[in-house]
Amino acid sequence: TINKETSPLIIFPQGTRIKNNERVPLKKGVSRIYEKANVPCIPVKLNTGDVWPRDSFLRFPGEICIEFKKPIEPGLSMNEFMNKLEKEIYD
């Protein structure tokens, strides 16, 4: 159980690390969690796939960047949410 007032929930909608120039479909379950939680979703864009590729245990020198995007307010349909999340992460 997640306490909405004190417990952040982190979800990686791609299901794995990806390189910055890569696009993979987002996992559909993320929209179900968004719908049930009924709280704002703050998309976060990472470049960890460039430093630590998903198909390798090796890590490469580099800087990891974290970019916080605009919150997505609760109440959108699952399709609207997924479209908005995808736009925030990939554009």
Query: For 7-16, 20-29, 68-77, which range has the lowest pLDDT when averaged over its residues?
Result: 7-16
The verdict on pTM exceeding 0.85 is no
DSSP letter (8 states) at residue 45: E
Q: What is the pLDDT of residue 69?
A: 92
Domain ranges (residues) in the chain: 40-90
Q: What is the pLDDT of residue 85?
A: 95
Alpha-carbon distance values, 86 to 20, 56, 59, 62, 79 (Å): 14, 25, 26, 25, 11
Torsion (CA) 77, 80, 84, 90 in degrees, nearest 10: 120
Residue 86 in this model has a pLDDT that exceeds 70: yes
- Phi, psi values for residue 66, rounded to 5°: -120, 125
pLDDT band at 4; cut points 50, 70, 90 = low
Share of the chain above pLDDT 70, in %: 96
